[in-house]
């Protein structure tokens, strides 16, 4: 069966697990398949044990006991999940998204869950772990966008970042004109231009 586990705010993943799996089983499988996302290690198991966990918007106990008087709908250790269940692990704050709970979006094909609506710049910095100053372009659902635009539910965001300058391979840059070689320095370029004019 397929279960979605989302860290809110943070990444989410669709995990295939055996029938009868529990939240802790899904977290273990996520840890096995996705220990690092965007160069950030994710402690899936530790987070479901320590943070508030909801399955289909019903709060689950972080212990093996289920106290229905306290509003728990199950336990992360003992309650079997069903196909297409959604596990939401609340990392901070309260959810102020849409009817289903968190807002979801994809950034460069990685899914993310957001606790509240926020700007693209803040999501990149606080959730993805990327510096917005390194962004060269951003599109939302195929249209050019601004870093200060709000992220909407189910937006597909593509971000391009500044890339490092190519490494110097040790070869000197030169300009060749009619068999003559000039260095690619300001003086060499001037000499090359003069050689071209004399042709």
Q: Give the chain's domains with CATH numbers.
A: 2-92 (3.10.20), 168-199 (no CATH)
What does the pLDDT read at residue 95?
Answer: 59
Residues of the chain with pLDDT under 70: 93-101, 164-172, 199
- Residue ranges in 51-89 assigned as alpha helix (H): none
At 9-48, the pLDDT tens digits run 889 999 999 999 999 999 999 999 999 987 889 999 999 9
CA distances from 153 to 56, 127, 187 (A): 17, 15, 56
Query: CA-to-CA distance for 70 and 153, rounded, in angstroms?
Result: 31
How far is the C-alpha of 55 from the C-alpha of 90, rounded, in Å? 11
Identify which of 156, 132, 154 has the alpha carbon closest to the alpha carbon of residue 142. Answer: 156
pLDDT at 138 (0 to 100):
93
111 within 8 A of 12, measured Cβ to Cβ: yes
The pLDDT value recorded for residue 45 is 95
Chain segment 32-41, per-residue pLDDT in tens: 999 998 788 9
**Among the residues of the chain, which ranges form H helices?**
23-33, 44-50, 120-123, 186-197
pTM of the model: 0.66
Write down the pLDDT at residue 186. 78
């Amino acid at each position: 069966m397929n279960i979605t586990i989302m860290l809110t705010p943070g990444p989410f993943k669709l995990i295939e697990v055996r029938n009868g799996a529990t939240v802790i089983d899904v977290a273990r499988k996520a840890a096995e398949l996705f220990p690092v996302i965007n160069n950030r290690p994710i402690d899936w198991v530790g987070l479901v044990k320590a943070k508030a966990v909801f399955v289909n918007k019903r709060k689950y106990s972080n212990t093996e006991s289920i106290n229905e008087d306290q509003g728990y709908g199950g336990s992360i250790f003992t309650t079997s999940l069903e196909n297409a269940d959604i596990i939401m692990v609340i990392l901070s704050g309260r959810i102020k998204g849409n009817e289903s709970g968190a807002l979801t979006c994809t950034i460069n094909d990685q899914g993310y869950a957001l606790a509240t609506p926020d700007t693209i710049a803040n999501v990149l910095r606080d959730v993805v772990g990327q510096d917005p100053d390194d962004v060269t372009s951003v599109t939302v659902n195929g249209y050019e966008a601004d870093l200060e635009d709000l992220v909407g539910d189910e937006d597909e965001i593509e971000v391009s970042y500044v890339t490092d300058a190519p490494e110097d391979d040790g070869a000197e840059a030169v300009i060749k004109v009619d068999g003559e070689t000039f260095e690619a320095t300001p003086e060499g370029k001037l000499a090359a231009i003069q050689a071209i004019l004399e042709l």
